[in-house]
């Protein structure tokens, strides 16, 4: 039953891909081991980088992730959010009080003075979350760089009366700006396709990350109690917990000869990637995704804590990326460097013409179900 994916599948958990292709765990390199050749090649392909640029960016992002927490603590209530700039390789932290600038700079971050704190922007977004959004409203999130709440509206429905009414109410919540998106997002589950990842009922999805005792994935892929089978049709386990909409996460227990490993599968096109933790990457950081349909794809983190308005209902606290995805990729892993980030939820577009994809942050899932990420 060892086929590069399912067993690895659980491994998969580490890997975002949802494929149940068997994969054996690679030897555990040192914590300072360089990025895999596969990860670097994917970044070169999808982000237009040279190998040297990809290596330098990963190093800068690792530093920015470490600085982010220190800067947030230094800013205190004046913290207005942060973002990573790929061109300069630096993390910028917004603050509302000039008196906090020196303390934040001392952490290694660049400082920008803004009007609204992160707490104020989050409060405005929470008020919008309480509204009922029509289908033409795609999503909304706090944009620290703009220092506003951005509401994304499907271009074809921007003049719809219900959309206009929603925007009028949203603007009463606080500083809001409106942007257009190509189309409304949808989840990336798919009907059963022979020879691919895990299945529940007539739905195929992808495994996210291995946790001790099972793996995490997307909630829209199955309800609690639903049975799960692997790429070879054999029984793996059951959904032990699932939430969708409102959230889009779930976890599946593993047994019957399956086991977990801290790996994200590369599908033969890139090297398998070891998972070493789940430190949250900042806005602007590079990120890659593995899934059973489109395999390994990379892009950038565009926004955090975004509310996505699917036809089934709104899902909160999502992270938006420029990575493409297609049906069947749902549940697969998002990873930045060697740090697990989240499980694929949905988006718009495809991997031929491009698009955007959202993921549910993995740390939220671990905390919700009391799970421990399997790391190398």
- How many Å apart are CA 376 and CA 337, to the nearest integer? 13
Rounded CA-CA distance 71/101 in Å is 10
Q: Are 275 and 216 in contact (CB under 8 A)?
A: no
Residue 82 CA: distances (Å) to CA of 22, 23, 141, 271, 282: 39, 37, 14, 31, 7
Distance CA 114, CA 146 (A): 9
Count the Cβ atoms, other than its own, within 10 Å of residue 352. Answer: 9
| 367 phi/psi in degrees, rounded to 5 | -65, -40
E-strand stretches of 9-143: 79-85, 90-95, 110-113, 137-143
SS3 state of residue 54:
helix
Is residue 267 left, alpha or beta, with left meaning phi > 0 and alpha meaning psi from -120 to 50?
left
> What are the catalytic residues?
220, 248, 330
Per-residue CA distances from 335 to 69, 320, 332, 339, 355 (Å) = 19, 13, 10, 6, 18
Strands across the sheet with 110-113, in order? 79-85, 90-95, 110-113
The CA distance from 308 to 315, in Å, is 5
Scored b (16 or more CB within 10 A) or e, 212-244 reads: ebbbbbbbbbbeeeeebbbbeeeebbbbebbbb
């Amino acid at each position: 039953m060892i086929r590069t994916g399912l067993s690895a599948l659980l491994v998969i958990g580490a890997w975002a891909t949802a494929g149940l292709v068997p994969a054996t765990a690679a030897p555990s390199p040192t914590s300072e081991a360089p990025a895999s050749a596969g990860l670097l090649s994917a970044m070169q392909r999808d982000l237009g980088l040279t190998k040297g640029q990809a290596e330098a960016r990963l190093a800068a992002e690792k530093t920015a992730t470490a600085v982010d927490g220190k800067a947030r603590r230094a800013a205190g209530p004046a913290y207005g959010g942060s973002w990573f700039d790929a061109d300069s390789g630096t993390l910028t932290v917004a603050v509302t009080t000039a008196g906090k600038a020196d303390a934040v700079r001392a952490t290694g971050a660049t400082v920008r003075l803004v009007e609204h704190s992160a707490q104020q922007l989050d409060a405005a977004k929470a008020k919008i979350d309480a509204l009922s959004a029509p289908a033409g409203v795609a999503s909304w999130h706090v944009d620290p760089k703009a220092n506003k709440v951005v509401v994304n509206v499907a271009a074809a429905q921007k003049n719809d009366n219900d959309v206009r009414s929603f925007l009028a109410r949203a603007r009463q919540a606080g500083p809001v700006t409106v942007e257009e998106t190509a189309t409304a997002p949808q989840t990336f589950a798919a009907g059963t396709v022979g020879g691919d990842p895990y299945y529940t009922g007539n739905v195929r999805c992808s495994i996210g990350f291995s946790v001790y005792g099972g793996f995490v994935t997307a909630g829209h892929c199955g309800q609690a109690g639903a049975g799960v089978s692997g790429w070879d049709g054999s029984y793996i386990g059951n959904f032990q917990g699932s939430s969708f909409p409102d959230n889009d996460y779930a976890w599946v227990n593993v047994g019957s000869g399956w086991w977990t490993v801290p790996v994200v599968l590369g599908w033969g096109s890139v090297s398998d990637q070891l998972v070493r933790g789940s430190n949250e990457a900042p806005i602007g950081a590079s990120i890659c995704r593995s899934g059973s349909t489109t395999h390994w794809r990379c892009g950038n983190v565009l926004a955090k804590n975004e509310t996505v308005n699917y036809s089934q209902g709104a899902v909160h606290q999502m992270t938006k990326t420029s990575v493409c995805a297609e049906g069947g990729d749902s549940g697969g892993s998002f990873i930045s460097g060697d740090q697990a980030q989240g499980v694929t939820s949905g988006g718009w577009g495809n991997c031929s013409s491009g698009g955007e994809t959202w993921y549910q942050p993995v740390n939220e899932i671990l905390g919700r179900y009391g799970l421990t990420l399997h790391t190398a």
